[in-house]
Amino acid sequence: MGILPAVPRPSEAASPEPFAIDATITLEDRIAAALFLYRDLFATARRRWLMVLAWIVIVLLFVMGFQAWEGSGKDGLQAFATRFFSDLTGIPGLPLPLILVPAAIYYLLQPAIVRRRLRLWYRDEKLDQPFTGHYRFEAGGLVSATADQTSVTACRRLGGIAETAGHVFIQLKDIEDVIVLPKPQLSPDQVEKLKAWASLCHVDGPGTTLPAPESETSGEPNLTIRFVPTEADRAATLTWQQERPGMRRRRWRGFAMAFLVAAAIPPLLIVFAWLLDPQRVPLRYTVPLFAEMFVTDFWKWILGFWAIIGVIVLLHPWMRRSHARQISKQLHKRLRYYETEFRFYVDHLDTLQDGLHNRFRWAAFDGLERKDDYFLLRLRLGEPLTVPMRALDGDRLAIFERLVKDHIETAGNKIGETA
């Protein structure tokens, strides 16, 4: 690896010996990393579901209480309580388990559903192939490298390690990423070394006083741009992701499914009500009437449901944008955005922040897209780099376009442009 940095000079502090770990990162490891990185967002979504559910139950109980009060003749708490509890355990109380049981099942399955969505997303984005990562742990920081990308992270940009049953995560400070190491590939000795290193090299540890591992210098860049990423930039990237072909395909499949399910709801509701009715009319008398209901009523209900879904489909672009804004707001709260510098060279691109130096060889990219006021440099192994137009003032825009297009085209990559 020609772009691996030189070994830093030894420090005065009793720092552990530098050591290296090579690991193969599979799709499942990346899913684990995403689940770990966004655990707060996933937990919030899960809690929100619980809140909505609680409100539905409260409203249902209130309605039932009102009906029980009316039904009990409004004379005294005793009669009301008797009526209410007999309602609760009887047929009038059925909506409660009918809503609660599926909702509880969804709540329990939510982690599995999230994992499945992530897996599909990685597959759609062709990010599901395993890659080998080289990690070098030094007193002053961490050097991580894949085939076409090297990152040097100073201790002040590291957030310590976290362990789960299957993985060790190296957390990054104010960077929306995490380094994942699969435990089965680590020897107990390596885990011990990692822990010792992490206790020194993190944002509040003594490692911050040491110089970061040095990056290989590379002369004068052809173009340098600087900008401070904002919440709006993050929202733009999210919006771009929402419009990826895979996401679109799944969305339309979801809508089609919603239309199908909506068509099945009215007859199912009636069958369900019939089954639950202790005084139900025998099947042989019911079937002709049920068939007639399709002609007289069900189609109207189905059209009604479809109209609602149609409105949702129409409003969905707006809902997506608002969702992207909301998520970027949440992300913005937990990250501090540093000034970022992009340096374009003949054979690579460097991105620099305080304590962070990424180097991407041009082969690391597989495309350039323009979306509204942003350029997105698509990476083979991860999420795209976002360059806002505001950083490309004056003649920088023309130089940028020429450079990037040349380099990504030389690597034989597609250039895409979306509205």
Partner 1 sequence: MRTLALVVARAIAGVLLVLPVAHAETVSLPYDLMIDLPEGWRVDGPEQGKLGTDGLRRVQLICATEACEKTQETCTVLMRRKPIEGDDDAAKVRALYESPFQRYLRLRAVLRNTRRDAEILKPLELVKIGERDWYRVETDARHNYKSGFFAETVVNGLYVGTICKSCETGAVRHQDGLRILTSLKLRALKAAGAH
Secondary structure (3-state) at 260: helix
Cα Rg, the chain, nearest whole Å: 29
Smaller CB separation from partner 1, 297 or 406: 297
Of the residues 40, 192, 292, 354, which one makes contact with partner 1 according to CB under 8 A: 292
Q: Which residue, 280 or 329, is less far from partner 1 as judged by CB?
A: 280
Smallest separation, CB 294 to partner 1 (Å): 9
- DSSP classification of residue 298: I
Stretch that binds partner 1, among 46-54, 135-143, 259-267, 279-287 (CB under 8 A): 279-287
Considering only 134-142, 281-289, 385-393, 398-406, which stretch makes contact with partner 1 by CB under 8 A? 281-289
CB nearer to partner 1: give 7 or 287.
287
Calculated CA dihedral for residues 26, 30, 31, 32, nearest 10 degrees? 100
| DSSP three-state, residue 131 | strand
Asked if 48 interacts with partner 1 (CB under 8 A), we say: no
Residue nearer to partner 1 on the CB measure, 187 or 279: 279
Minimum distance from CB of 273 to partner 1 (Å)?
10
Residues near partner 1 (CB under 8 A), total? 13
Nearer to partner 1, 22 or 277 (CB): 277
Task: Pick from 47, 280, 402, 414 the residue near partner 1 by CB under 8 A.
Answer: 280
Q: Which of 91, 109, 281, 307 binds partner 1 (CB under 8 A)?
A: 281
Sorted by sequence, the CB contacts under 8 Å of residue 270 that are 6+ apart come out as 290, 293, 298
Which of 219, 279, 283, 333 is the binder for partner 1 (CB under 8 A)?
Answer: 279
Residue by residue, DSSP assigns 216-251 as PP----SEEEEE---HHHHHHHHHHHHTSHHHHHHH
Cβ distance to partner 1 smaller for residue 268 or 346: 268
- Is residue 151 a contact partner of residue 356, using CB atoms and an 8 Å limit? yes
* Binding span for partner 1 by CB under 8 A among 141-149, 240-248, 288-296, 319-327: 288-296
Q: Which is nearer to partner 1, 192 or 297 (CB)?
A: 297
Task: For the CB of residue 234, give the shortest distance to partner 1 in the complex, in Å.
Answer: 53
Regarding 406 and contact with partner 1 (CB under 8 A), the answer is no
Minimum distance, C-beta of residue 262 to partner 1, in the bound complex (Å) = 20
- When binding is defined by CB under 8 A, the residue of 49, 107, 259, 290 that contacts partner 1 is 290
Q: Which of residues 249-278 bind partner 1 (CB under 8 A)?
A: 277
Residues 350-389 touching partner 1, rule: CB under 8 A, are none
- Rounded to a whole number of angstroms, the minimum distance from the CB of residue 286 to partner 1 is 7
CA separation, residue 272 to residues 91, 94, 182 (Å) = 13, 11, 48
Contact between 296 and partner 1 by CB under 8 A: the answer reads yes
CA–CA distance, 297 with 266 (Å, rounded to integer) = 9
Whichever of 40 and 277 has its CB closer to partner 1, that residue is 277
Of 248, 255, 252, 250, the C-alpha closest to 116 is 250
Contact 335, 230 (CB under 8 A): no
* Shortest CB 322 distance to partner 1, Å: 40
Which is closer to partner 1, CB of 106 or CB of 285? 285
For position 286 contacting partner 1 by CB under 8 A, the verdict is: yes
User: Counting Cβ atoms within 10 Å, is residue 165 exposed (0-12), middle (13-18) or buried (19+)?
Assistant: exposed
Is the Cβ–Cβ distance between 387 and 177 less than 8 Å? no
Instruction: Give the Cα separation of 56 and 47 in Å (integer).
Output: 14
As a whole number of angstroms, the distance between CA 362 and CA 385 comes to 13
To partner 1, the closest distance from the beta carbon of 67 in angstroms equals: 17
SS3 4: coil
Nearest-angstrom CA–CA distance, 288 and 301: 19
* CA–CA distances in Å: residue 378 to residues 113, 225, 250, 343: 27, 18, 21, 17
127-186 positions binding partner 1, by CB under 8 A = none
> Any contact of residue 96 with partner 1 (CB under 8 A)?
no
Q: What is the binding site for partner 1 (CB under 8 A)? A: 277, 279-282, 285-286, 289-290, 292-293, 296-297
